Amino acid sequence: MISALGQQAELLIGFNQLELRDYTLWLEYDAGHQQLDTWLALLEQAGVHPDMGRWSRMRLGWYRYQDANIRDNSRNTSSTACSQSPLRHR
């Protein structure tokens, strides 16, 4: 199941890594290209249902906020700051 999910994820732009460690799914992606809801839909299609307790809903809200912030910053070219990541300035 996880390998099929990994194969689907590799087709998407912005995918970096998918790993299952100790019953926890670790997903690394570029939020400038993909959003959390895309990955949650892929998980639902694969039959994986995330925990929807109070703490999990709060974390999902925070992750959605971060994704939206990253996406907006990656698309905003009118700001006075340069569009390169801080690591490129070293």
Helix intervals (H) in 20-81: 36-45, 54-75
pLDDT 10s digits, 66-90? 999 888 888 776 655 565 565 554 4
* Three-class DSSP category at 49: coil
pTM for this model (two decimals): 0.68
Backbone angles phi, psi at 57, to 5 degrees: -65, -35
pLDDT 10s digits, 38-63? 888 888 888 888 888 999 999 999 99
Cβ pair 32, 16 in contact under 8 A: no
Cβ neighbours of residue 79 under 8 Å, at least 6 residues apart?
none
